[in-house]
Amino acid sequence: MANVAVMTDSVACIPRELAKQHQIKVVPAAHISVDGKIYIDGETISATEAYALIKKDPDKFVTSAIPPDYLLNAYEELSKQSNQILFITIASSLSAVNRTAGIAADLLKEKSPDITVRIVDSRACASTQGLVVLEAARAAAQGKSLEETAAIAQRVREKSGGVMMLDTLRYIYRSGRMSKTASRIVSLLNIKPINRLTDEGTIEMVDRTRKSLDGINRLIKSISKEAETDSLHLMVTHAAAPDRAEYLVEQLKQRFNCLSMIISDFSPVMGYGAGPACLFVGFHPEIDK
The SS3 of residue 66 is coil
Q: Please give the average per-residue pLDDT across 108-112, as a whole number.
A: 97
Could you tell me the residue ranges of all domains in the chain?
5-159, 161-284
* Model pLDDT, residue 33: 92
* Model pLDDT, residue 176: 63
Q: How many CB atoms lie within 10 A of CB 72?
A: 20
Instruction: Please list the alpha-helical segments (H only) found in the chain.
Output: 16-21, 47-56, 68-78, 97-111, 126-141, 146-159, 180-187, 212-226, 242-255, 268-274
Give the pairing of strands 30-34 and 161-165: unpaired
What is the distance between the alpha carbons of residues 266 and 238, in angstroms, rounded to a whole number? Answer: 5
5-159 with 161-284: one CATH topology?
A: no
Of 120 and 52, the one with more pLDDT: 120
Query: Does residue 181 surpass a pLDDT of 80?
Result: no
Range 161-284 has CATH code 2.40.110.10: no
Query: Does residue 180 surpass a pLDDT of 90?
Result: no
What is the distance between the alpha carbons of residues 240 and 122, in angstroms, rounded to a whole number? Answer: 25
* Model pLDDT, residue 45: 86
Q: Is the overall model pTM greater than 0.85, yes or no?
A: yes
What is the distance between the alpha carbons of residues 275 and 8, in angstroms, rounded to a whole number? Answer: 23
What is the distance between the alpha carbons of residues 197 and 165, in angstroms, rounded to a whole number? Answer: 11
What is the fold, at CATH topology level, of the domain defined by 5-159?
Rossmann fold (3.40.50)
What is the distance between the alpha carbons of residues 90 and 97, in angstroms, rounded to a whole number? Answer: 7
The SS3 of residue 192 is strand
**Which DSSP string corresponds to 119-156?**
EEE-S--HHHHHHHHHHHHHHHHTT--HHHHHHHHHHH
* Model pLDDT, residue 172: 73
* Model pLDDT, residue 169: 81
Give the mean pLDDT of the chain.
Answer: 93
* Model pLDDT, residue 228: 87
**Could you give the count of Cα atoms lying within 13 Å of 16 in the half-sphere of its Cβ?**
7
